[in-house]
Each structure stands twice: as structure tokens, then as C-alpha cells.
Chains A and B, each alone.
Chain A
């Protein structure tokens, strides 16, 4: 019998009731909730006179709507209702919630690992597609819709079909100044935004092993942008060292026992994958998206591509529309694209290492006069506190950046932080869809160092030459 992949092991360990090729009942260990996708689920539960199955597995936090400035008064009345609804539902059912002014509040995908609430070997869900972030811990983590949120509340289970196994093996080493974000954009560039559809991706290889936990989280985070619901990375010393001592992580004998079990969370040598992709880390350069899909991406020294050179008609039309929306012409060097706004934040890139890497570039410099706003939004209150202890906030503020309170912020602009029509932004977030950061806004996805280097130059630059 062939060995098991890490995903096979995670799946099998959570099978309540299997059904061969069809749908199975899968047990869920950790349920993260936020204010946007949970209210209708709680309402549904109540309408059907049901109760949550196991409230002790749930961790709630408001993140999408929260203002990143002036938290004593939420200006948007509709946002306030949604935030209040989360507080009420959590209070009613006795669910642990880090409320807006709790120092531990932050983006749900940042605080789960940070608190040790998300652990290797767990199944982790949240009504949010970037739940895939937690796969970096060797957990099976994926986003769900609101009906599924209600299903997990009511049953602690999900009914689903097992995905296929895909291996993305990143060989060799990343070059100097090339980040986990560039690696993931490079993977998406290679396999496309639908490349992972129907699969769970396991990231492996020398370059993945060399990443810190935070870098691995950036990679797993954007798995959904490659079309897969979940991405996983095998447990190693990096994983164990990251978790040890975190508030909700097991302690004492339980910790020893857990670590022994977690060591087995790797794919067997003889495991087989349905699809295998190799990526050469050394060929990856700092990348910048030029269009309205994360696969529309080129190296910093590249140019905006010409749709006329694309043979596939659907793709060609898509490129034309993207160029119109983005206000770009084919052939323009990426380094000549001037920016209006800069955003460093989001569940992809707002952890302490991201802020350190960005601050390292910013130190002693000023943002360019054409940049109308440059935001740094830490991923959590604890990230913010750590950054302040290291003096990073001062580096950003002295350069002309705004230093904000944690939340999803301008990644999707549900709170007051957004792009205005026509504004162009270098963003460390995950989606460059039309209107994502604001109506008519134009998003270019980059790593945090690339975003801040662009803030200083006023246009895109190669951070390696900066």
C-alpha cells in the first residue's frame, strides 16, 4: 500500500464517517469567526432552535470592519451593527472573543497562530478564504461559506468531498531580497489562479524548509489565490519552536505528548500525489502584478504585457479589460509605474517579520511627494506592541507613513481605509480584483519591502538595488 500524504493523514484523522469517493463527515477542531460571515449563521441556528455543539473550540474576533484609527467611535452605523452583532452572539453563547479594544485583537488569520489557538494536526475553519494561512502549521485549514459556518456551529463537523493531492516543490534557495510573497506570486504565475482547484497543495522543498513560520504563513495564505482551498506544510523544528509557549498551546506533559504526535505530520516517503509541480526558487525575482488577477504578474524588471501576443482569445480579452481598468498600456516598464497610495498590511503580510523587513528599507528615508497616503497596519495588537518595542513605528512615522491599529483595513476596504477611483496602490495584500481596495482603485500586489521601496521612490523599484 502506498504511503500517505500529509493531507491524507490529516483527513483520515478527522473522518467521523467516510463515504469512499463521495462526501464524508469531517470533524472540526478549531472554528475561527469574524463579524462579516457569522451573523447569518447564528441567526440560522436560532431559527432552527439549535445550539452550538462545542463553544470551547471557537475563537472570535472583529477584523474586517474595524477602524484603524479613532476606535472610540465607529463612524459607519452599518459596520457598528455588524460589530455589535458579533459581540452579542459571543456573549449569548459564551464564546471567547477578542473584542475590538482587546490588546490581542487583530486579523483572524494572524491571531490564531499567534495565540497558539491553531495547532498542527488540527482541522481549522473560518468563514474566510484566507483561513488557508494556518496550513503552514501542518494543519488542514480552509475557508467556508456561511451555511458551513452554521453547520460547524451546530454539529462541529462538515460534510465534504476529499480533495486531490498536489505537491508544489520549491527547489533551491531564494535570492537575496526575494521574499515568501514573491515565491507565492511566482507559484501562482506558474500554475495560474485555477491551478490548484480541486486539490490540497502541499508545499515542500528546500526553499520552503528554509522559510520562517511567518514566511510559510504568507505562502499558505495565498493558496486560495492559486485556486486551492487548503495548503499544508510538513511539521519540523521551525513549526515546533514557533508554537512553544504560546498562550493556548499545550503545556507540560501534554506539550511533550503533542510534539511526539506532531512529528508524524509529514508526507510518507512513498506517498503519491495526483499532480506534482516543481518551482526553482533561484529563478524567482521580486514580482509585481499588473492586472486584476493575481496570475497577471511579472518580475520587477519586466514590462506590462501586450494582449496582442496572447493567442487564447478569452485570456486576450481578459488582459485588455485588465489594462483598461488598470489604466496601463502594453510595454511600459514596471519601474515606470507611479503610485498614489501604499498599503502594508493584511493577513498575507502584516506580521512582525514583514514589518521589520519593511522598516529596514524605510530607515532614514522619506516617502515621495506623489504618495498621498502610506499606511502600515499591523496584523494584531501584539504585533503592533512588538513593533513599537523595537522602535519600528518611529521609523515608519518619520518617513511619512501612518501607523495604525490592527485590522483587515485597505486589503478590502470594508472599514474607512480605501482607494478612491483611479488611485494606484502598491499593496502587500493578496487580491488585485477590480474594486477590491475601493471603487475604481488600482491594486498592484507586491511584498512589504517592495511596497515601501515604491513609497520612497514614488514608483516601483527593485528593492535589491535600493
Chain B
């Protein structure tokens, strides 16, 4: 996983609540057995005017000029500004893979769905949760200011606006450590292999039926 320390970039405002993972990456692309190739189909339903199919050359498709990511002023956006409950619905990690491959590495919203949040962290994508009032204000500023950029610093946990205003955000310290160092959390857990085995030995005595292997 790529480490996340600082990010300065164009902000794209996606002014809709409850953006679900079906919309972030539609089901037909989930047939892939790979982790890559999802970027061109990020927000496929909204980004294009036609129906997309896996394996299609997306450069030949008709773009929806009204969709924010198709507007020239948001070209190259690396930060998404969103409304409440972003990433709700399906657990598909493909949603995070699609955002990252498109070039978006962080987002700000009043709330982010639980499974999406944990998928994001595991891929070095930073979801920042701020109060609804601050998010509202950022929407107004972004829409009023072409080329609006934010700077996100994970060490001090700050978002800095073009005017120099510094907004603080919260993040779990263990997740922050993992993001800052791009750590592989399987490695980290396997360092506790002895604890896992000890748990299993203890648990087997308490609840032996949990240790009957499936065999069917």
C-alpha cells in the first residue's frame, strides 16, 4: 500500500447525499478478477451517456458534460468533496480501486459509510469526516472558485484552504500510523501469530464446536 502523508490538489464537488458503491462502480465491472482497470468506469452511470460494458474502449464513449468530473475546471481532481453517507451499500472494494485509479486519493464528507471507510484506509485512500456546516461552506467555496485546491496533511491532521484557513480533522491513531507508513496490515497481524494461536487454544476449550472443520 502506498503511504499517505500530504496531498495538495484540485477539489471536485459531488453534491449528492448517499452516493452508493453501485454508482461508484457498477456491477458489470465486478466480473473482473483483477485489482486494476476500474478507473475509466468510475461513476460510469453519471460520467457517460451510454451504457458501459466490460472491455469496452471508454475513449469512444459519449461523456456526460454535466457531470463534475467531465468539467474542465475539475480536470485532474485528486480530492473529492461529498455529502453524507458516501460509499453506502455494497462492500465492493472495487469502488476504492476505481477512485484511486482515476487519481482521487482523499475525500471530505460529513459522513462516510463504515465498510467503504475501512476499504479506503487499506488502500491508502484518506476519507476525512468534517461537520456538515464546514462541508457546506467548502461546497460554496469550491463552486465559487475555479482552480480551488486544498492541502491535506496527515501528520498534523489538517486541511488547509487557499486562504490559509486550517481545519483540523480526527483519525484513529492506529489507522493514521498505517497510512503514514503504507504498512501491510497482514504483516502487522501476523506479528501476533502467537497470540492468535493462544486464543485458538483457549477458545477450543470453551467452545469446541467452533473448531469442527467444515467438510462437505
Contacts and interface: CB of A to CB of B under 8 A. Distances in A.
Interface of A: 13, 16-17, 19, 22-23, 25, 27, 29, 36-37, 39-40, 43, 48, 50, 53-59, 64-65, 76, 78-79, 81-82, 85, 96, 98, 104, 115, 117, 119, 121-122, 127-129, 142-148, 150-151, 154-157, 159-161, 163, 193-194, 197-198, 224-225, 227-229, 247-248, 250, 254-255, 257-258, 261, 293, 295, 314-315, 317-318, 321, 412-414, 421, 431, 433-436, 439-440
A128 B27 CA distance: 13
Nearest to A79: B31
Interface stretch (B3-11, B98-106, B188-196): B188-196
Contacts of B111: 194, 197
B160 interface: no
A56 B213 contact: yes
Interface stretch (B12-20, B56-64, B150-158): B12-20
B145 interface: no
Which of A127, A156, A435 neighbours the largest number of chain B CB atoms within 10 Å of its CB?
Answer: A435
A436 B208 contact: no
B199 A96 contact: no
A129 B89 contact: yes
A439 B51 contact: yes
Interface size classification for chain B = 35 or more
Interface in B132-165: none
Contact of B216 (A96, A225, A254, A412): A96
Contact of A193 (B88, B174, B199): B88
Nearest to A55: B213
B186 A150 contact: yes
Interface in B6-60: 15-18, 20, 22-23, 26-28, 30-35, 45, 51, 54-55
Contact of A16 (B113, B114, B115, B192): B192
A156 B83 contact: no
Contacts of B172: 22-23, 161
Contacts of B175: 23
A37 B196 contact: no
B97 to A, nearest CB: 9
B192 A25 contact: yes
B131 interface: no
A96 B172 CA distance: 37
Which of A37, A53, A145, A436 neighbours the largest number of chain B CB atoms within 10 Å of its CB?
Answer: A145
Contacts of A224: 89, 115
Contact of B92 (A23, A145, A318): A145
A57 B119 CA distance: 23
Nearest to A435: B45
Contact of A434 (B23, B119, B122, B213): B23
Contacts of B78: none
Nearest to B193: A155
B174 A37 contact: no
Contact of A129 (B55, B90, B213): B90
B185 interface: yes
B27 A147 contact: no
B214 A197 contact: no
A104 B216 CA distance: 10
B192 A433 contact: no
Which of A16, A82, A122, A258 neighbours the largest number of chain B CB atoms within 10 Å of its CB?
Answer: A16
B118 A145 contact: yes
A414 B31 contact: yes
A56 B123 CA distance: 28
B51 to A, nearest CB: 4
A345 to B, nearest CB: 16
Nearest to B120: A145
Which of A59, A160, A194 neighbours the largest number of chain B CB atoms within 10 Å of its CB?
Answer: A194
A454 B137 CA distance: 45
Given A27-B203, A156-B196, A198-B114, A128 B214 contact: no
Nearest to B136: A314
Contact of A247 (B119, B174, B207, B216): B216
Contacts of B122: 145, 147-148
A193 B86 CA distance: 11
Given A36-B30, A56-B215, A295-B18, 18 more contacts: A16-B199, A22-B173, A23-B172, A25-B189, A115-B216, A129-B115, A145-B91, A145-B122, A146-B93, A151-B186, A161-B172, A163-B114, A227-B85, A229-B115, A414-B30, A431-B90, A433-B89, A440-B51
